[in-house]
Structure 1
Amino acid sequence: MTTEPDIDFSSLPQVDQAARPPHQRRPRFDGDVSELPDRACWALQQLLTRRYLSSETEPDVYSWVLEYRNQLSVRLSELDLILRVVEGVFDNGGVAFIEQARYDSARGVKLLRREPLGTYDSILALHLAQMMRASGDQAVLISRDEMHGLFSGVLNDIDRDTVTFTARIDAAIARLASLEILRKSRDDEDSYTISPVITAVMTASVITELQQQFELLLRGGAPQEAQDEEDRTDDADD
């Protein structure tokens, strides 16, 4: 009777558990010559059209950004854009967004042309970011009246009447709610929670710039969009 020799399992080749089978990519349309997988292309499209991607609201797309992060960073850098990923914003991940690279160029073209936040939108976002940071990233509940109170020291020359001033602040609240930076409370329609995503997208340079805008309003300066509106009115009168 013969016995089989013992097998030395340590000598067997290791199997890469993370390895993926070769990807057989099919063109999505006639003329599609991209070398990126479909998911990377879709993630790139979302990054270019959204202010940010959240692991909380778009877990699939956010995971694709992480998976193809290096390739996406290269494609974006060719357009003078920078991919930012901030982890730990939520329990299941963070947020991803892109920024315009800033450098002196005689021929560079700014491609990131999203609808800008207005002055009141930006200043409200500034205050919300400061409140969120002060809370240690704990949940913050704020009412509509409290947000109006954040502008109580503003004495600019354009919004002299209360109705216009109030309307601009309400519009800023609605704008930030549409971006899911403010989330309406289920118990009170005039109360909101501040999304922790704001601490990720409000970088130090952005906060510094917005603080300067707010100080201008406190000194009686005019917000840019309000000044533009008055200029158009003056031109029409002429």
Structure 2
Amino acid sequence: MSANENRKTACAGESCIQSRRRFLLGAGATLLAPGVLLTARPALADEAGRQRWGLLIDTRKCVGDCTACVDACAATNGLTDNGRPTTDAQWIRKVQVTDPGTGHVAHMPIMCQHCGNAQCVEVCPTGASLKRADGIVLVDKHLCIGCRYCVMACPFKARGFTHEEVKEPSPISPRGKGSAEGCNMCVQRISKGQLPACVEACARSGHEAILFGDLNDPTSLIAKRVVAFGAAALRADLRTDPSVRYVGVNL
């Protein structure tokens, strides 16, 4: 048996998958689109001095019939409407919650929570689901095998799957049939110093319910408001350490 055949035999089954995943996680970065890198090495959410991008959503300012954030996300990332709400891609959705004790009704957008302890990353067998050093959770669609483990593992129902051919994919947010997908916090815009599309659209609508910034910078506006407003994490009991926080709703 040749040396190459020996290597092929040794790298078989689950051990091969785990070995490949360790290699991918230590490989540095993968190019997703021009100017957008998927940094594969996971970072500790609370690492001192480490930048961590996040969103603060003030449900007191979110209006129920407003879809500005949803529409902007779809337009920016090339998400098409095929008339099938249960299968069409939607990286951000609006939900209505009611406090059973007070009857208070609030509206809130829910997207990938970009968890510090991301379950989608934990279950992915190929390393396609990964967390950048700045806390943003992404999918490397070149590595995704379509197993949908991440879709099932996400407790926030924030992961989707591309069931159909994408006829006109966005050049800055590539998508393809057979791959998992979800909110990428507009990394292609952040890399240019711009705000995520949902944040910009919400401000343009006059509501300004979504704030973007560095959660780990105590001098940033988002970090100050998280402390001042006592912002809560969605399903904090799951201890996923989300980078998205909410104000004005009892979670």
TM-score interval w.r.t. the shorter chain?
under 0.3
Report which of the two has the higher share of helix: 1
Q: TM-score, normalised to structure 1's length?
A: 0.23
Structure with more contact order per residue of length (Cα contacts < 8 Å, sep ≥ 6): 2
Choose 1 or 2 for highest CA Rg: 1
Report which of the two has the higher share of strand: 2
Q: TM-score, normalised to structure 2's length?
A: 0.22
